Amino acid sequence: MSEDEHRESRFRRMFGRGKPKDKEQPESSKMAASSSPSMVPKAAPARPESPRPVPFAATSFNQQPVPSQAGVGPKSPSQPSLAQSKSAPTSAIPLSGGKAAPAWSPQPSTTSMTQPARIPAAAASEQKPSQKQQTVQESRPEPKPEAPKLKKAPPESRPRPLTPSADEAEEESDEALAERFRFLKNVKVRFPFNGTPIPPSWKVVDRYPVNSPFAYAVIAQSPLLSRRYYLDEVPLTKTEAAIYSYLLDALEAELTVPREQVNPRQYFADQARKILLKYSIRVPAASWSKIIYFAERDLVGFGVLDGIMRDPNIEDLSIDALAKPMFVYHKGYESLETNITISDEEQMDNLITRLSHMAGKHVSTAFPIVQGTLPGRHRLVATFRREVSPQGSTATIRKFREDPLTIIDMLNLNLMDYRVAAYTWYLMQNRATAIVVGATGAGKTTLLNALVTLTRLNTKLVTIEEVQEINIPHLNWTSLVSRESYAATEEKAGEVGLFDLVKAAMRMRPDILCVGEVRGEEAYVLFQAISTGHGGLCTLHADDSASALQRLVSEPMNVPKAFLPFLDLVFVVRRIAVPTPGGGFRAIRRVVALDEVVGAEEVSRSFRWDPRSDTFKPSYDKSPKLERIARDNGINMEDIMKEIDRRSLILRWIQQKGIRNFKELSPILELYVSRPEEVFKTASNELEAKGIAVAEILGEHPTGGPAQ
C-alpha cells in the first residue's frame, strides 16, 4: 500500500468518513433511503417513535389526545400503526355485531374495559377519528347501562340532593322504581309487619290520624255490631320494601351510638340520609317518606306498636299470648280487639326483648319477668317466652300522660262535682292527709295526681313510686323511684325498695309525702311520717273505706290502729258500667264516696254518689275535720262553709274559661289564695255576664245526714 492510500485509510478510521465498499447496508436503511420525502406529512412534524402508545385515559387534559391504535401524524395506507409494528401479538374485543374492534393498549387507569374512557369536552371536539375508527364505532351498538354497584361513589359523581326535593313529590310507579334499582334484585325483601286490613263488610265508625299521613286509627264495626280497633298504615310496594330492607341492613351495620344527648328520631333520619348519599341511592320523595317512616318505626320506635303508642286516646295495651290479637283500652270505646296478631314465636320474643331494652332492663329465661319504664314514661310489665306464661310471651303497657289530668278534668268527666272539688281543695291547702282506694283501672293514680295539683306551689313535695306516673307543675318537687336488685341471688344486693325511699324522704323535710301505691312495710313508715305532722298521700287497692282500713292494720303493712285517726280523707273511686239510651253499656268513673276517718274502725261520710241521678249528695256540715280546722284557726264553721262555696264558684269560673292544663291552672289557684277578694269579684262578674246565677251557687248548703 502506498503512503497516500495508507494515510487515507487511517483518516477514514479516525473520522468515520465513508464506508467500506465490501459491506451492504441494512434493509431498514435501504427502505429509509428509498422512501420518498413526499410520504412524510407536511402538516405535522416527525416525532420520535414512542416505546409505548399513550391511550385516551392516560393523555393530559391540556393536550390533544392521541389514539392508542394510531401512529404519529395522519395514517397513510402504506404506513403501519404503532400497535402493528410491535412484535408482541395483539388481541381484539369481540363486538355484538360479530366484528372485532381493535384492541386497546394496556391502561393504568381503573376505567372499565367495556366503557370508553372520559375525555374533556374541548379535547373531544378537536379530535378527528380516522375513517377506520368511524367504521368501527358505527358498527358497535349502544352499550347498555350497567346496574350500579354497591360501592362508594367518587365525590364528583355523587348527586347533590339525596334527600328528595319538592319537585320530585310525584310518586313513581313500582315498575319505574324497579328499573332504577335493579341492583336490589339480590336483596332479601322484608315487608314491615302491619295489621290486617279492614274487611269490606265492616263499617267505619271513627277514623283519626295518629301519625299523619302514614298511620290512622280506625274504629270499625262488623255486621254483628262488634267493634275492633284497626291501625291503618300506608303499604309499601315491592321495590320500596327492597329499598327499606337494604336501608335497614346498612343502618344496622353502620349506625353508631352518638356520644352526646340527641333526639333519636332526628339522629336516625340524618344517618339514613347519609347512607343514601354514601351509596348514591336517589329515591323519589313520596317513596322516601314511606320508607323512612317504617325504618324509624322499626329501629328507633316501638315497632308494630308505634302507631298505637302515638294514639292519645289509648290508655293501655295488652299482649295476652302468642297468636292472639292485641287489646287496647280506648277512652271513648273502652276495651277493643285490634287487627295486630303476632303468631311467630321468634318475632314475639324479639318484641319483648326490644321493649325490655328500651326500658333499660334485662330479660331472659333466667329472669322472665320484667318491670320498667319505657321512653315517654310508659309503664311496662312483660313476661318472656313460656317460663311463667304457658301460652307465650306477654306484655302490658300503661301509657303515661304527658299532659296529666287536673281537677278541672275531673269536673269535665263528672268524676266529682264542684262542691266535692272545693271541699277537697280547702282541706288539701290545710295539709290534710288522704288515701285513694279502688280496683285496678279505676283511676286511682289519675285522681291522686289531680289532688296533688291542689296544693300550694311553694309546698315541698316528695313523691315515691315504683314507676314514675305522677306529673305535677311544682318546682319544689322531688321524685324518687325504686330500683330492683342487680344480683341473681337471694341477697338482692343493690335493691332499693319503697321502704328505703320513704325512710330517705323523711330526711328531706317534705311538707307532703306522696307514695304512688302502698302494699308493704312502706305503709308503716308513711303513717309514722303522718303522725309527726307531715302531709301524706297514697293509693291502695281496696273496694271501700272499711276494707282499706282493714288492709292497713293487717300483714304485711302492720300499721298500728292508733295511727289510723291521723288519716283525714278516704276517696273511693270505681269504674262503673251504666246502660246507654241506645242499648248496651258504657264505662264511667266516679268518686262513689268521700269519707273522713274518725277512729280505727269509724268513718264519717262527707259525700256520696247517687247512681239514679248521677249526682253527689253532700253531708259535711258536721265534718270532724272541718271543726278541727275551725278550732285551730279561731274561726267558726259558717265561715268555712262560705269559703267552700266561694271556691266552688272559682272552679266553675275556671272551667267556663276553658282552662284545664296544670301549668295554667295552678297559678290561678295560687292567685286566689294570695288575693281572694279580687279573684272572686272577677269570677263573679264574668259568670254573671254569661248568664250564670252566682247567688244560687253561693246559696247552696249541704244537708246533714248519717254516714252510710
pLDDT in tens, 161-174: 344 443 343 455 66
Give the span between the Cα atoms of 545 and 94, in whole angstroms.
97
Going by C-alpha positions, the residue among 156, 143, 72 that lies closest to residue 112 is 143
Alpha-carbon distances, residue 409 vs 535, 623, 651, 658 (angstroms): 24, 26, 11, 10
Write the pLDDT tens digit of every residue in 264-316.
Answer: 778 877 888 787 777 767 788 888 889 889 988 998 889 999 999 999 999 99
Q: Distance between CA atoms of 288 and 282, rounded to whole angstroms? A: 9
Whole-number pLDDT of residue 1: 57
Segment 388-408, tens digit of pLDDT: 999 999 999 999 887 888 999
Reduced DSSP (H G I as helix, E B as strand, rest coil) percent helix, strand, coil of the chain, to 5: 35, 20, 45
Q: What residues form DSSP beta bridges with 666?
A: none
Decide: 609 and 616 in contact? Cβ < 8 Å. Answer: yes
Query: Quick check: 8 pLDDT over 80?
Result: no
The contacts found for 179-186 with CB under 8 angstroms, 24 or more apart, are: 181/239, 181/242, 181/243, 181/281, 182/147, 183/147, 183/148, 183/149, 183/150, 184/239, 184/242, 184/243, 184/246, 185/242
Q: Name the CA radius of gyration of the chain, rounded.
A: 44
Q: Is the pLDDT of residue 328 over 90?
A: yes
Q: What percent of the chain has pLDDT over 90?
A: 43
DSSP state of 483: B
pLDDT reported for residue 179: 65
| Span of 166-170, 464-468, 532-536, 646-650 with lowest mean pLDDT | 166-170
Cβ–Cβ under 8 Å, residues 157 and 280: yes
pLDDT range class, residue 2, cuts 50, 70, 90: low
Give residue 390's identity as a one-letter amino acid code: P
DSSP assignment string, 605-627:
EEEEEETTTTEEEE--TT-HHHH
Distance CA 393, CA 653 (A): 50
Longest dimension (CA), the chain: 168
Residue with the three cell numbers 289530668: 405
Of 253, 249, 256, 243, the C-alpha closest to 292 is: 243
Closest C-alpha to 595, from 548, 553, 628, 559: 548
Contacts of 10 (CB under 8 A, 6+ apart): none
Query: Would you state the pLDDT for residue 286?
Result: 85
pLDDT attached to residue 456:
87
In the chain, pLDDT over 70 holds for what percent of residues? 71
Who wins on pLDDT, 578 or 684?
684
> What per-residue confidence (pLDDT) applies to 153?
39
pLDDT attached to residue 96: 35
C-alpha cell, 381: 310489665
Q: What pLDDT, on a 0 to 100 scale, did the predictor assign at position 173?
A: 64
Mean pLDDT confidence for 216-226: 94
Which grid coordinates belong to 4?
497516500
The DSSP code sequence of 338-396 is EEEE---HHHHHHHHHHHHHHTT----SSS-EEEEEETTTEEEEEE-TTSS-TT--EEE
pLDDT for 388 equals: 93
Check whether 680 has a pLDDT greater than 50. yes
pLDDT in tens, 335-384: 999 999 999 999 999 999 999 999 988 899 998 999 888 988 899 999 99
Residue entry with cell 288519716: 567
* 611-625: average pLDDT: 90
CA 569 to chain centre: 42
Give 314's strand partners: 330
The three-state secondary structure class of 603 is: strand
Does residue 614 have a pLDDT over 80? Answer: yes
Phi/psi at 180 (5° precision):
-75, -35
Q: Which fold has domain 407-620?
A: Rossmann fold (3.40.50)
In the predicted model, what is the mean pLDDT of residues 189-194? 90
**What is the residue type of 177?**
L
- Residue spans per domain, the chain: 151-194+235-307, 407-620
- Can you read off the three cell numbers belonging to residue 102? 381493535
When pLDDT is cut at 50, 70 and 90, the band that residue 182 belongs to is low
Q: Are strands 334-341 and 369-374 parallel, antiparallel or unpaired?
A: unpaired
Mean pLDDT of the 603-627 span: 91
Cβ partners under 8 Å of residue 538, min gap 6: 435, 436, 448, 514, 515, 516, 517, 518, 523, 526
Closest Cα to residue 648, out of 622, 620, 625?
A: 620
Cα–Cα distance measured from residue 568 to residue 597, given in angstroms and rounded to the nearest whole number: 5
pLDDT, tens digit, 9 for 90 and up, residues 557-600: 999 999 999 999 999 999 998 888 877 778 889 999 999 999 88
The predicted structure's pLDDT at residue 450: 92
The three state secondary structure string of 265-283 is HHHHHHHHHHHHHHCCCCC
pLDDT at 415 over 50: yes
* 3-state secondary structure (DSSP) of residue 28: helix
Looking at residue 172, its pLDDT comes to: 55
Work out the mean pLDDT of the chain and round it to a whole number: 77
Of 600, 598, 421, 431, give the one whose Cα is nearest residue 513: 431
**Higher-confidence residue: 490 or 443?**
443
CA angle 555, 558, 561 (to 5 degrees): 130
Pairing assessment for the beta strands 461-465 and 477-481 based on DSSP bridges: parallel
Is 60 exceeded by the pLDDT of residue 325? yes
What is the band of 115 on the pLDDT scale with cuts at 50, 70, 90? very low
Question: How many Cα atoms occupy the beta-carbon half-sphere of 371 within 13 Å?
Answer: 9
Tell me if 594 sits within 8 A of 571, measured CB to CB: yes
Angle, alpha carbons 100-105-106 (nearest 5°): 125
Inform me whether the pLDDT recorded for 665 exceeds 50: yes
